[in-house]
Structure formats: structure tokens, C-alpha cells
Amino acid sequence: MKKKQVLLFIGIGLLINFVISAKEKSDIYYKGWIDFNKNGAKDIYEDPEQPVEKRVQDLLSQMTTDEKTCQLATLYGYKRVLQDSLPTENWKNEIWKDGIANIDEQLNGIGKGSCTAPDLIYPFSNHAKAINKIQKWFIEETRLGIPVDFSNEGVHGLNHTKATPLPAPIGIGSTWNKKLVLQAGEIVGKEAKALGYTNVYAPILDIARDPRWGRVLECYGEDPYLVSSLGVQMVKGIQRFGVASTLKHYAVYSVPKGGRDGNARTDPHVSPREMHELYLYPFKNVIREAQPMGVMSSYNDWNGEPVSASYYFLTELLRQQFGFKGYVVSDSEAVEFVESKHHVASDYEDAVRQVAEAGMNVRTHFTPPQDYILPLRNLVQEGRISMQTIDRLVSDVLRVKFELGLFDTPYIQDVEVSDKIVGADKNVNFVLDMQRQSLVLLKNDDNLLPLDKRKIKNILVTGPLAKETNYMVSRYGPQELENITVYDGIEDYAGNEISLSYAKGCEVIDKNWPESEIIHYPLTDTEKEEIDKAVSLARNSDIIIAVLGEDEERTGESRSRTSLDLPGRQQQLLESLYETGKPVVLVLINGRPLTINWANRFIPSILEAWFPNQMGGRAIAGTLFGEYNPGGKLPITFPKTTGQIQLNFPFKPGSQLGQPEVGPNGTGKTRVIGALYPFGYGLSYTTFAYSNLNVTPSRQRMQGEFKITVDVTNTGKRNGDEIVQLYIRDKVSSVITYDSQLRGFERVNLDPGETQTVEFTLKPEDFMLLDKNMDWSVEPGEFEFMIGASSEDIRLKQSIQVGF
């Protein structure tokens, strides 16, 4: 009997404690503030009226070493590392019982996530409720109630399974449209905010100078000014809605030796001057103009030093020179690589010490956060890392959380609103418009395009990518959407008026690929049959649309290539189709420039589509049939052969010229010269004329500005977009500068016969160079302003004088 009474009293006691605890938690929410530390008083860090820095320091003063170190690590989300979709009782036994810096990719539905917790992913309001529950646990169940920063990728649109998709970034770069990119960023930020994500890992500011590199498709292009200009707009768009933008990948990440990524990703052969003028330029400019709250440190080295363990990169450059005030998160495994790949640390714990002292705030990797937190605590306990260093790193993380408003409004206020604003179906017109604007017309002999439905009775759609969709599904963007293939788009436009036939023709690759790029293997009987089938149908068609290039498994992270030719048997298919004598339109699906020299010589029309979004098929078909006039321009040079790499814009004078054929050093012809398609190139179904270039003043002091105007006229018969490009050339300088540099661009839409005046303003920083002492300065002298339709198609020039 006594035993039962004891158990009864224990049960009653537990119930009372539960009720008291529940009451205490509900009592922490006051009008205008939250009692995060549950002490019944409004501490400085809990007071929204206090300055951010005072709030940071007050909170920091109350934190234990365990709580501080927990703010320096990422917890990867459900099914990545976290095994629970929602908080459980066991969380009290996990290391994040003392808090965590951020939770990455939680419930975004990517990969297997859409199968394991579908009700917490969609509808969107359920997702918002789930994020609120997780945030509520950290606020109410941890001692100091420090909110979590929920991070997620956003390179191709928000990385949620049903969010609004964007084209691959190389396609975004091809739009050359700052307003459009700003709108894209706003959609990403708005959707993130509604779903509970407070930090978006975008944009990628790497410049793609080696087309063999796998991640070319995730970059805006090869030119630092173009990448910087679009990056500023993307950051401003994302952060407009109170969501942090985290820049990737800092720094000198995009040029590993030989373009090799995968297990390499090291040893970029970049001089200090080139690093600052090209690879750091976008980071410096975007940080200064848009104030992003995050930066991701890369796992490569530069000049023998791992970037993520470099005080020079993470503190001197990033914070002291560029003025970055957010927090730095590591790329996955960057900490481990300091020991395992770069071998500059004697063991993993020493690698932890190095990155922390360098200025890396938060470690991210696909392993439990204690793998970083526990070594960090041990380093503090042993006196091998100072508390001053820890406090500095934690302060940066807390500052971002305060600036995001997480200590004032930590929860999604109206979870139901997410169902109304999130999703591709809410932004159909934008998704289609951005995809259209990313298309680049590379060739159009005899105006074969646009196709006239009244003159065509039979069309063959062929190629291994005509009915493929995997290139529309990105690891870094939405995945569970209904995608329109190129064939579907053409079928829809053809309707009942045109007879449509289809033959795959070949696979994307042959069974011996990539070895077949260096060793010739004869066609198999099956391959011959597939090509013959396509050729047979082609003979009975009025026109052939061949959809060729690369699929999702041929380009992307860790997918560098040793050749830029069409993979597999695609070249044989294309040549066989051409031999039928029927006109061929080549639609390219690819993530990098391809050396399509034969196609450029013999195929009459070529349309570059890159990796399109879910509306790709509709946008491509509409462009082929003339519903839309393509106006995109290449953000990256197409070389003729890998033997020319690097072949880029901008370039130093003489570095990409031909070779002497006569004279004392004349040797004749031994190499291929020039680009297949230069930077800034792109055709239209109409034509444009440039006139009335005016620069005021013609002479200006070194701290003054120049105003440039030019008239652009649509001289054709169709409405169309022209991308007006402004380049400058420093005629004489104390150090060698680039042959010319992009310093302005505008995309304008013109009706037939319409003229528009395009205006640019150049500021002193547009003329800056790194002098002999590696200091940025403006030197007096003559500059040439050049207006054109590409880096090689210059229409108007005028010289001016800076400094007098």
C-alpha cells in the first residue's frame, strides 16, 4: 500500500512540475519582448529597444563555454544528420540542448526527404508550423533560449521541393538583366521567409574561367563585373524580406588546377594580382554594395594556404578590407580538409584550432555537430585557443541573429500565408519570362528561325535530351515539379497543324565514355540502328530539331570534364542528320561551353538553352516558333578547343592573339586562333543600330564621374531585346591592365523602328587598378569608352581624359 502511495505522490509531483514548467514557458512571452532566459526580468539582450551591440554583449556575458561553442556549429537537417523531423524528449540529451548556430536544409524535401516526412513539407503551411515547433523548442527548452538560424540553399531558386525554380545560374547570367535578377532574389527571399528559412546560401560569386570545371553551370559567368552586378541584385532581393544571403564560395574556388574538381579542388594557379582583380572583385563589390549577412568559406587553398584556415582571407581581407560584418560558415568538410587533404595540421583538433583562429564562425559538414563542438571545447579547456577568440566568433553569429529579428519575432507570424505565396504555380509568368530571357541564339543562317507553322508539315524532334528532364532538377533547387520537356513544348506548339515524329537517336553517352573521348570505338549495332531510325524519319520531315548536349550527370559539382565536345555518339547523330539535306536546328542543353565547331560550320541554326527550369520546353518551343525573340548574350567565352584554355574575357593585351606567319619570328600556322563565340555574344531575330555616343565631360578630375549616353534603334521588323555593353580601355598605365573591361550593361526592349537612349554613369572606382604596390588607385591618363553588342562587336568609341 505504501509503495502505491509513494508512486502516487511521485506521479502527482511530476504532474505539478509539468504544469509549473508549462506555465513558466507560456509566461515568457510578454508584450513587445520575450523572456528568453526565463528569469522574469527584461535583460538587455531581450529588449528590442537596445542597440544590437549591447544586446550581443549582454547575451555573451551570460553564456557558458558549452553554450558558446554550440553557436559555432551547424546541425544538418532531417535525414542528413538530424534523425528527428520534430523535437523529441531525447533532444535534452543531445549536444544542442545548449543551442545551435543553425539548422541546414531542415524539411526541404530534397532527395529522399519528400518521402520520409511529406506532411511536414507540403502543404507549405505545415512546413511553417514544423519550423515554428522546432524554433519553439530552442527558445523554451534551452537555458538562454537563443533562436536558431534556419539555413537553406538557393542557387536555382529556394531549395524546397515545390518552390519557384530558376534556370541554372549560367542561364541567369545570360539574361544580363539586373531588374530580373533582383526580382528573382525577391521571390527566393519571400518564399524562404514564409517557410521559416532565415538564411539562404546564394548567390554563387565564383567566376567561371575554366569551362572544364564541373560547376560552371552554377556561376553567372566569367567576367567579374557581370558577376558582381548580378550578385548585388540577388543579395538585395533575398535580404529585402529579412532573410540573410550567404555568398559562395570564398575564395578562388572556381579554378582548381586543370579544372579538376571532385577529389582535387586544390592548387589554383592564380597570381596575387589576378586574384584581386578577378576572383575577389565580386565578393568585395557585393559586400560593399549589398551588405550580405553571410559568407561561405571554400575548401581549396591559395598560395599554399587553405582558405578556411587563413587569417588573411577570413579576417584581414573579408572583415578589415571588405567590411563584412556577418558570419562565415564553412563549406562542407572544409575543416577536415585542413588536415586530411592539405596536411597543414598535425591532427583534426589542430585543424579546428586553425580555422577558428582564422575567423571561421560556423563549421558545416554532413556529420554530427559534436564532431566540431567537442574538440573546440577541449581546445578551450587546454588553453590552446583563447576565450577572446571564441567570444569574437560567437558575437558575429549572435549579431546576425539579432539583425534578422530572431530575438524579436522568432516565429512565422502567419503560417497560412505560405500557402498563398510559395510555389512555382504562384510565379508561372516570371518562371517562363526568366527562362526565355536566358536563351541565346548562337547562329541563324538565312533566318531559318523562327519556324513558320504555315510552311511546315512534318517535324522530327530527336536527340537524347529531347524528352529528358533530369537537367531541370537541381541539387540546389526545387525538385518535385512538373517539368516540360523540349519535345512536350514543341508538341504543344505544333498542335494538330504539324505532324510530329520522334527518335532518340542515341544516348547522352556511349558505354565507353569518357574513355571514348580519347580512344575511338566503332559504333555498336544498336547505336547504328538508333541513328538509322532517326535518319529515316528525318528524310520524311521538313525540318529537324536536334536536342543535344549534356545531362545532369555530365555537369555539376565534382563533374569536371577533359573534353568539351558533344559526349557519346551525339556528334555522329548530328552529322548523319545533316547528310539528309534537311534543315537542322540544334538546341543545346548544357552546363558549360561546348566546342561545337562542326555544328557552327554546317548547322544553320543553333539555340543555347543551358540547363533550363521547369518551363524550359515551353520557352524553347515558343522561341523556335517565334512567339518570343531571343535576346540573351553569352556570359562566358566558347573556346574552339580545350587546347586554348584559358581563353576568357577579360584578358591581358596580346595574351589571346594569333601567331606571326611572316617576319623574323614567323613560323606559319600551328594552332587554332580565336573564340568560337566571344563573351557578350548573342543574335536576335531582328537587328539593332547604335548612334550618337555622347560622353560628358570629355575631361574629368580623378574623383569625378562620367555620363555616357548612346541611342539604340531596332532596325528590323520584330520586337526584340538588345543588351548594350560598355567597355573601357586604359591606354597607358603603370602596370599592365586588361585589354578592355566591362563597366556597364543594360537590356532594353524595342519595337521595330523604336529608338531608346541608354545611359551609363562611370564612377572613380570603375577606373581603378592595382598599382605596383598592390594598392587600388585611379591613375591619370587617357581612357577609351567602347559601346557594342559583344566584347568583339564594338560599334562606337570615344576617348576621354581622367585627371588633369
Q: Name the residues annotated as catalytic.
A: 331
Between strands 584-589 and 543-549, the pairing is: parallel
321 CB burial (10 A radius; 0-12, 13-18, 19+): middle
CA angle 364, 370, 375 (to 5 degrees): 95
The stretches of 240-369 forming alpha helices (DSSP H) are 272-274, 281-290, 311, 334-340, 348-358
| Distance separating alpha carbons of residues 549 and 562, to the nearest angstrom | 15
The answer to whether the Cα torsion of 236, 723, 628, 566 is positive or negative is negative
Spatial contact of 439 and 480, defined as CB atoms under 8 Å apart: no
3-class DSSP string for 175-243:
HCCHHHHHHHHHHHHHHHHHHCCCEEEEEECCCCCCCCCHHHHHCCCCCHHHHHHHHHHHHHHHHCCCC
Q: How many CB atoms lie within 10 A of CB 747?
A: 19
The one-letter code for the residue type at 455 is K
Point out which residues pair with 584 in neighbouring strands.
Answer: 544
| Alpha-carbon torsion angle 164, 169, 175, 181, nearest 10 | 50
Distance (Å, rounded) from C-alpha 51 to C-alpha 217? 42
Beta-sheet pairing, 102-104 with 74-76: parallel
Nearest of 240, 254, 243, 158 to residue 205 by alpha carbon? 254
Closest C-alpha to 69, from 331, 399, 382, 370: 370
Taking alpha carbons only, the member of 399, 388, 404 closest to residue 54 is 399
Buried b (16+ CB within 10 A) or exposed e, 180-192: bbbbbbbbbbbbb
d(C-alpha 416, C-alpha 412), whole Å: 10
Phi, psi angles (nearest 5°) of residue 714: -80, 110
Q: Which of 544, 531, 525, 541 lies closest to 504 in space, CA to CA?
A: 531
Residue 387: DSSP 8-state: H
Nearest-CA neighbor of 113 among 155, 149, 152, 139? 152
